Amino acid sequence: MEILKSLAEWYMEGQWGMHLILGASIFSISIIIERVWYVMVKSSIKSEQFTLEVIKHIKKRDINGAINVCNRYDTPLTRIIKAVLQAFAEGEEDLQGVADEISLVEMPKLDRRTPYLSMLANISVLFGLLGTISGLIRCFGSLAGVSAAEKTAILSVGISEALHCTAFGLGVAITSIVFHGIIVGKTNGIIADIDSSVVKILNTLDEVRR
């Protein structure tokens, strides 16, 4: 309880600027949780192992078996490969076109909302700066016509407000930037795995078709 009380006091010392930064932090945390779940959990798969298993069935001309392997998972990669295999089973010639068409649906889901983290990081810094400037303006604007003792108290309150907003804004910004980098890195890795797996499976299907 003491910790919560201290945090509440620390928050209130930052005045109204803290509310703006808190709003940005709530949006940022929401996006981070959703993106981590979708990119790192829902879309994650051992792509090399999956690809080898699918190729093994294709080489045996067991397309239904390969499709069943895809049905075990629910990721962008497996949905793309499943569409390609179904098209192959139906006699479709342009398998690359099928892969490209499904990729146009699946790929944007991996990048969705991630760029907002960078924007929220910048906004948090600006809100922190706004709160800092507000605290300093209030501080120096209240110094006229007061005693030396009162000036000290006013300076203390104003500078405290300024520094609290700066610290909170930077904390939210740093967190957003770090997770933005992690999520983008994982997303790029998944996209690279998808491209590699699709090429390998398309080549195998071409070999079987000949």
* CB contact at 8 A, 59 and 210: no
**Has residue 2 been placed in a domain?**
no
- Model-wide pTM > 0.95: no
Q: Which domain holds residue 78?
A: 7-209
**Has residue 29 been placed in a domain?**
yes
Residue pLDDT, tens place only, 129-182? 888 887 777 777 766 666 766 777 777 777 777 788 888 899 999 999 999 999
Q: Which residues, including other chains, have CB under 8 Å from residue 130's CB and lie 6 or more apart?
A: 17, 20, 165
**Has residue 133 been placed in a domain?**
yes
**Has residue 28 been placed in a domain?**
yes
Q: What is the Cα–Cα distance from 20 to 5, expressed in whole angstroms?
A: 21
How many structural domains compose the chain? 1
**Has residue 1 been placed in a domain?**
no
Q: What is the Cα–Cα distance from 135 to 121, expressed in whole angstroms?
A: 21
- Lowest average pLDDT, out of 62-66, 71-75, 184-188, 205-209, goes to 205-209
Q: Is the pLDDT of residue 5 over 90?
A: no
**Has residue 174 been placed in a domain?**
yes
**Has residue 30 been placed in a domain?**
yes
Residue pLDDT, tens place only, 51-61? 999 999 999 99
* Helix ranges restricted to H, 62-147: 63-71, 76-89, 95-111, 115-141
Q: What is the Cα–Cα distance from 206 to 27, expressed in whole angstroms?
A: 47
